[in-house]
Amino acid sequence: MNDRLLNMTELMQKLGIASRKTIYNWRKQGMPTFQVSKGNPRFDFNEVKNWMKNKTFVERNDRNE
Domain count, the chain: 1
**What are the start-end ranges of the H helices in the chain?**
8-15, 20-28, 45-54
State which residues form the domain around 39.
8-61
pLDDT tens digit string along 29-57?
Answer: 999 999 888 888 999 999 999 999 988 77
Partners of 42 in the beta sheet? 34
- 1 lies in some domain: no
What global pTM score does this model have? 0.76
Q: Is residue 2 part of a domain?
A: no
> With contact defined as beta carbons under 8 Å apart, do 43 and 32 qualify?
yes
Query: Is 54 a member of any domain?
Result: yes
Task: Quickly state the pLDDT bin for 11 (edges 50, 70, 90).
Answer: very high
More confident residue, 25 or 64: 25
Query: Residue 29 — left, alpha, or beta (φ > 0 → left; ψ -120 to 50 → alpha)?
Result: alpha
Q: What share of the chain in percent tops pLDDT 70?
A: 85
